[in-house]
Structure 1
Amino acid sequence: MIVRHWRSVLMVCTAAALVLPVSQSFAQSAPASTPATNAEGATVLQKIVVKGNRAAPGSVADTPLATQIDKKELEEKQVTNYDDLGRSVDATVNYSRADAGFNLRGLSGARILTTIDGIPIPYVSNSSRQGAFATSNANGGGDTFDFDSLSSLDIVRGADSSKGGSGMLGGAFVLNTLEPEDLIPEDRDWGAIVKSTYDSEDRSIAGSAAAAKKVGNTSILFQGSYRKGHERDNKGDNDSYGRLRTEADPADFDQHNLLFKLRQDLEGGHRIGLTAERFRRDLKTDLREQQGTGRTYMTDNFDGRDLRDRDRVSLDYDYEAQSSDAFFSSARATLYWLDLKKEAGSGGRTAANVAYGRNNEIENETWGFSGTATKDFEYSGLNHSVRVGLDVGVSKWTQYSWALCPTPTTCPSLNNQAEVPDVDSQNLALMFEDKIEIGNTGFALTPGFRFDWFNYNPSTGGGFATNTGITRFGDLRDRTEAGMSPKLLATYDLTPDVQLYAQLAVGFRAPTVDELYSRFYNPTGRYAQLGNPDLDPEIGRGVEIGANFDTGGLQGRVAAFHTRYQNFIETVTTVDATGFTTFNYTNVSSASISGLEANLIKTFDNGMNLHTSLAYTYGRNDDTQERLRSVAPFKAIIGGGWSNDEYGFDLSSTLSSQMTGNDNATTSFDAPGYGIVDLTAWWTPEQVKGLRIQGGVYNIFDQEYYNALAVRDVNLSSSSSQPKEWYSEPGRTFKISVTKTF
């Protein structure tokens, strides 16, 4: 294990040794030659934001620790699903299907914040419906959006709750939806875009359309998309039923997204608006691996269902000062309603030909307000940019498990009930930071903090009234908690094109409703899954140093970080003298995660380009010294391409080292290392203005490989597991898209 660890360290150090001298030489020489200007559609590479100045002031992403991927780059990389980001764009990003969300720096689920237009998307979960009830796992929240509705996506790395509050232990995904000006050219008062995509990975076909119109000072936008497809392919070739099946289960899904925006520009730099949004994805799966001989359910009579549903309405306000003597330099505010629903279940007939079904529903409805204001001024030779913010929210959480059971006498005690009570919650947050620039030295210091207060009020009525675990495991109680998240950021503009930074910051995560109040008691199976209303918030204290640079021909970022986490919330198993097993949420002492990251893009005057993205992260439980299996192994994206005004191509390879198991014995599957190659090409014909045709062949050599995070808890020796190929990723696939801009 030690040899493998240091081998990975050597790989990263070697890569850094290649990247850093190049970036330093560019910083020192600051070449005067003008880089080649790429025409529309000519580049396929991610642009790294040097100073975060493309993010709105006061935004979670307004930090040098963030990078931005805009609409054009999402299209050029053909990003249509969550896995594409970590494969085509940024090696630091991974998608965790176990948590139905993104993984940053070894953390996922409720430890990653996701916002859309500044509105936090809650993470919902029900621990009672996992493991034996995997088909009723309705966890998630951050996966309820469509890429075609986005104008940009910001990735913020690191523990910094001074920016976003609870949940920013590993970082944040900041989603920004289309605005009318994203579609309307400067010389017109209207604009539109239509797009169609076919992806052989899940045999899906998608169509999207967006249009915007401006009349005087009023702008309006409509956007809609629809996608229909099937199961995600893998490398399995056994189409049988039951334990030996390796092909993916047959599935069908429908997904749609609707977006409406109305904007009114007022005199004095004010803008008000209305936004309405709806996302829905409905997936139905024929669960063939659980059917047939030796399995619990009848052949061709057991299906699973997964539903993701999010609705949002918001009133928006933006202000940009028209003169330097205005009271505020800028201000933004949003009053919103957001309703998130996750539903998962299964149904059919058992091997004894008895009807059976389960369904788990979770809903979180939130009313909230978020606002920030910025004031820029000079005092005593120092330039200040002071930002203050206020976040207020009230939420209603509900959960219910329904079942049609083959044994009706035991059903009422285990199902047709809520395992988590209805909970009313309130939260309040105050944010302050001051960016202090010291004259013309290029040095700036930004101290800041955020105060968060939250309150939970559980109810024992409704579906929770029949839950037999209420009185057996103690009364539920209200919970109130507060926390302070300070940070100190220092930046130095080495040259106009190179910025160095260092940050000390604190992140925290409040316990979820599920972690505090879940109750599931199974007297027949002799086990219980319990929440813990005495949980402390998780705390992360991190340090990061890095550099962002953009010299025109060379763009990139390098970073090194170390974060120590306390009060990690994990499930602890205890067995009493009678053999009764209890799974209980508990705070454990500490864990540490460290790593190195680098992104580099080099463009040449002849249209050639070279690009690489590297990520190495190492995490361990400081008490047991075991490695954290939520941390992805070393990964790199390396490639190059060529383009001109009309067409081009890109050839890139994604490389990953082997998943490293715990130093202690483990039965979980350690995914082997792999290397896959992708080729994409595009054409923007001069004869048809605004037309773009793009295609790609992925995993060209049809390699069998595994997503380390997706299989981190798989025990291939277990009777409930399928053969290894069942868990494999897709082989050779292709994707083609046609886009027309008007």
Structure 2
Amino acid sequence: MKSYNSRSRALICGTAMVSILCVTFPALAQDTAQQNETQLGPIVVQGQSGTAEAPASPLTERTERAVIQQRMVTDFKDFARRVDAGVNFSNQTNSVNLRGLQNDRVLTTLDGIRVPWLTDPRDSARGGVNAFDFESLSAIDITKGADSSRYGSGALGGVVELRTLNPEDLIDGKKNWGALVKSTYDSGDESWGNNAAIAGRFNDTWLLVQGGYKKGNETGNEGTIGGYGTTRTEQNPGDFDQRNVLVKLHQYLDGGHRFGLTGEIFNREEDFSNMRGTTSSYQPGSLQSGEEVDRKRLSASYDFISPDNSDWLDQANVVAYWQKQSLNNTTDGFRLPDSRASIIPRDPFRYGFPTGVYQRDNLLEQTSYGLSGNASKELDLGGLSNTFRFGGEIYWQDTHQYSAGVDNCPDVNWNTIAQPFGPQSCRMLHSNSSDMPDVDSFTFGMYVEDDIKFLDDRLTITPGLRFDYYEHSPKNTSAYQGSPLFDPEYLEGTSDSRFSPKLRAAFKATNELELFAQWSQGFRAPSATELYQTYGAPGSYARIGNPDLKTETSNGFEIGANYKATDYSVSATVFNNYYRNFIDTVTIAPPGGEFPVGGITGYDNLDRVRIYGIELSGEWQFADNWRTWGSFALSHGKDTGTDQYLNSVAPLRAIAGLGYATDTWGTDVSLTMAAARNKTSGTGFKAPGYGLVDTTFWWQPEQIEGLKIQAGIFNVFDKKYFNAIDVPDGTTVASRDFFSETGRSFRVSITKKF
């Protein structure tokens, strides 16, 4: 375990600030006379992700808002079903899955700001990367696989870069304002969604205000068995409310400068009658579950694009931000007397069998603030064309966890109470304490890469290098001291650093065909939860962290080709990724001794993991008004140390689409296919294969300018199917229908642009 080093931290902070200043001020330090002579309209700023735009890459694919809207994509599930077969989303962990990796091994950013994936020590709340409204997006960039010279910790599986609307997106031509309103009904969850955005400009000042509200019920499945208990396969009845507000202000200055301020609020609350979770422990109908995700952010940005490439930098971007994200999981029920209480001659409460009101509010909260920046410059050195890209990020995170509750358990030291009648419920039902210390985290990263062109610019060699440093500092709090498993050893800090190199070669065989190969390394720092959680109590079971976890690392190899012609394009990638010190949940001690119910589980580093596969995608405009598109993804993953399959790897998936469009109307039909997953480890779910048909239609009447009507029918043939990575391990055939996906549903939307 590495100790906290304040001198190293100060040195890194100073280096980071110098890097950010080097990115920003050369672009500002232009000749004043030149600025006065140059009159520019709005600049189209690339690199809003906090990284400079890379040359065409086989790993990064951008999906514009037009495609998102056209295919009626409202969440990551839709994106995986109608846009990209290589993207999956797990409802079990509320995370994006790329190439068999998910959770915090896939980095998600929103306007260049990291959106954390969080998990509570009690496994009661997971997610956070879906804490945004798809209606607020202007584009989505997907990078599959680690790109070590641009992204730091958490990008082992890839990167999802989300870009929100700008005021420039709503104002056409020389107009001074623009607006958009949209209303959508979805039968899959019986939801109504309303969204509106308005933007205006005054000289070089641009303003956007966007907001949305959505209300609905539980998402339907194909289960048919109702009632209470684990035999229920129908969805638990429930409802949700989702709301968001986005405000952006852009100020342009002569010479290619733009300053921005952004404020954003997102909140989603879900409440369910947990009829499936109701057992003999609760009064039927009393058990309610709730989940809430809340995210707020404030950010300031500076963007620069050189008007004539004569400045010190061609492009620069800096973002300073504050972000607060929280997950809440609540339980509210009425506990029935334990059946064992009737045979106890004395007060049953003494022996830990609670009755009456039972409530829990499990909170996990992370506050982040930091800076990220990037810049690029093209230069001729030694007769060769070079494009340098460099940048960095520095951020702090404060992680806090707390469980509040009421359970009618007596306030006693359970370690001193005998167990004459076996394990006692109150030993485990502790509340009003923290299952981990508060943790202050610090991370710094910086990178540089260079496109060097040879052979008349047909061959491009791109070396890159990134350095990352992190440290976690746990804090002693009274709430943590109240935990039954409080351990002062968990209050020792940890830190580590890593250099991650990359080398890519791309060869233009023809004007249309590019061949490429890439090797890159990546890493992921262990999370605060993995390091420091201490949930459980003697007499029951324990789930503990491991402060000695090592950093996960990867070596990724890819080869492939891109072919782009006038009417069609095709890309293919073969990848082979090796991971060391892969962090996974392991059994530390079987049931028995102090923990007779479930033993002790925790985290440890697996020696070696391998994931390899192939991805294909393409589109073809084969006739006037007609087009077709498709994608294909196959991954195979194993823990090579134990020869066990990785259950997070999805089976083979493919999408094929056909569309017809005129100036006023169009229609799309898509077929989504998945092979059966027969190879799993342990009790992993063996999902059957499936094929789904979705169809959408849109109409823009000429008589009403800006009006668009859309409709879609999804899973047209009402196929019962399962998303393999959604179904928990250990699910039996009898209960699996509870985890089935939605059957036939329809969606209708009306949009008016002003």
With structure 2 as the length reference, what TM-score do the two structures score? Answer: 0.87
* Secondary structure of the structure 2 residue equivalent to 1:503: strand
Q: Letter of the aligned partner of 1:512 in structure 2?
A: S
Q: Does the 8 Å CA contact 1:263/1:273 hold for their aligned counterparts?
A: yes
| Alpha carbons of structure 1 residues 496 and 184: separation in structure 2 relative to 1, 3 Å | farther
Which of 100-109 and 370-379 deviates more?
370-379
1:694 aligns with 2:715: no
Q: Does the 8 Å CA contact 1:66/1:157 hold for their aligned counterparts?
A: yes
Aligned 1:128-167 pairs, distance under 5 A = 128-130=121-123, 137-167=124-154
Aligned 1:618-629 pairs, distance under 5 A = 618-629=636-647
CA shift at 1:214, angstroms? 1.0
Q: Does the 8 Å CA contact 2:47/2:317 hold for their aligned counterparts?
A: no
Task: State the distance in 2 between where 1:579 and 1:478 align.
Answer: 28
| Alpha carbons of structure 1 residues 90 and 319: separation in structure 2 relative to 1, 3 Å | same
| Alpha carbons of structure 1 residues 385 and 57: separation in structure 2 relative to 1, 3 Å | farther
Task: State the distance in 1 between where 2:589 and 2:364 align.
Answer: 30
Task: State the distance in 1 between where 2:301 and 2:134 align.
Answer: 22
Q: Does the 8 Å CA contact 2:51/2:373 hold for their aligned counterparts?
A: no
Aligned 1:498-647 pairs, distance under 5 A = 498-525=513-540, 527-575=541-589, 578=593, 580=595, 581-647=599-665
Q: Does the 8 Å CA contact 1:569/1:587 hold for their aligned counterparts?
A: yes
Q: Does the 8 Å CA contact 1:56/1:62 hold for their aligned counterparts?
A: no
Aligned 1:335-354 pairs, distance under 5 A = 335-352=320-337, 354=356
CA shift at 1:121, angstroms? 1.1
Task: State the distance in 2 between where 1:242 and 1:521 align.
Answer: 25
1:320 aligns with 2:338: no
Task: State the distance in 1 between where 2:728 and 2:509 align.
Answer: 42
Partner of 2:61: 67
CA shift at 1:415, angstroms? 2.0
Partner of 1:220: 207
Q: Does the 8 Å CA contact 1:382/1:439 hold for their aligned counterparts?
A: no
1:446 aligns with 2:458: no
| Alpha carbons of structure 1 residues 553 and 714: separation in structure 2 relative to 1, 3 Å | farther
Rg (Cα) greater in structure: 2
Aligned 1:336-415 pairs, distance under 5 A = 336-352=321-337, 354-409=356-411, 414-415=430-431
Partner of 1:456: 472
CA shift at 1:697, angstroms? 0.7
Partner of 2:107: 113
Aligned 1:672-711 pairs, distance under 5 A = 672-711=688-727
| Alpha carbons of structure 1 residues 381 and 56: separation in structure 2 relative to 1, 3 Å | farther
Q: Does the 8 Å CA contact 2:49/2:113 hold for their aligned counterparts?
A: no
Task: State the distance in 1 between where 2:139 and 2:466 align.
Answer: 26
| Alpha carbons of structure 1 residues 107 and 415: separation in structure 2 relative to 1, 3 Å | same
**Cα distance per residue 1:416-448 (max 9 Å; x no partner):** 111121111111111111111226332111111
Partner of 2:500: 485
Task: State the distance in 1 between where 2:627 and 2:285 align.
Answer: 51
CA shift at 1:559, angstroms? 0.8
Task: State the distance in 2 between where 1:455 and 1:62 align.
Answer: 35
1:421 aligns with 2:457: no
Q: Does the 8 Å CA contact 1:668/1:716 hold for their aligned counterparts?
A: no
Q: Letter of the aligned partner of 1:653 in structure 2?
A: L
1:93 aligns with 2:91: no
CA shift at 1:522, angstroms? 1.3
1:299 aligns with 2:314: no
Q: Does the 8 Å CA contact 1:651/1:679 hold for their aligned counterparts?
A: yes
**Cα distance per residue 1:525-571 (max 9 Å; x no partner):** 1x221111111111110011122333231023211100001101112
| Alpha carbons of structure 1 residues 704 and 269: separation in structure 2 relative to 1, 3 Å | same
Task: State the distance in 2 between where 1:698 and 1:647 align.
Answer: 19
Task: State the distance in 1 between where 2:643 and 2:162 align.
Answer: 36
Unaligned regions of 5+ residues in structure 1, if any?
A: 1-51, 131-136
Q: Letter of the aligned partner of 2:657 in structure 1?
A: G
**Cα distance per residue 1:260-316 (max 9 Å; x no partner):** 00000011111101000111000001101123xx53221221110100000010010
Task: State the distance in 2 between where 1:59 and 1:393 align.
Answer: 22
* Secondary structure of the structure 2 residue equivalent to 1:660: coil
**Cα distance per residue 1:572-622 (max 9 Å; x no partner):** 113277374221211110110011111121112332222221111111110
Unaligned regions of 5+ residues in structure 2, if any?
A: 1-45, 338-354, 415-425
Partner of 1:740: 752
Task: State the distance in 2 between where 1:315 and 1:209 align.
Answer: 23
Partner of 1:45: none
* Secondary structure of the structure 2 residue equivalent to 1:300: coil
Task: State the distance in 2 between where 1:91 and 1:69 align.
Answer: 13
* Secondary structure of the structure 2 residue equivalent to 1:394: strand
* Secondary structure of the structure 1 residue equivalent to 2:125: coil
Q: Does the 8 Å CA contact 1:263/1:274 hold for their aligned counterparts?
A: yes
Aligned 1:217-256 pairs, distance under 5 A = 217-256=204-243
| Alpha carbons of structure 1 residues 53 and 518: separation in structure 2 relative to 1, 3 Å | closer
CA shift at 1:253, angstroms? 0.4
* Secondary structure of the structure 1 residue equivalent to 2:287: strand
| Alpha carbons of structure 1 residues 564 and 730: separation in structure 2 relative to 1, 3 Å | same
Task: State the distance in 2 between where 1:297 and 1:331 align.
Answer: 59
Task: State the distance in 2 between where 1:492 and 1:177 align.
Answer: 34
* Secondary structure of the structure 2 residue equivalent to 1:73: helix
| 2:190 maps to which of 200, 203, 215 | 203
Q: Does the 8 Å CA contact 1:60/1:174 hold for their aligned counterparts?
A: no
**Cα distance per residue 1:119-160 (max 9 Å; x no partner):** 11122212x313xxxxxx212121111101100000010022
* Secondary structure of the structure 2 residue equivalent to 1:129: coil
Partner of 1:280: 267
CA shift at 1:639, angstroms? 2.6
| Alpha carbons of structure 1 residues 113 and 59: separation in structure 2 relative to 1, 3 Å | farther
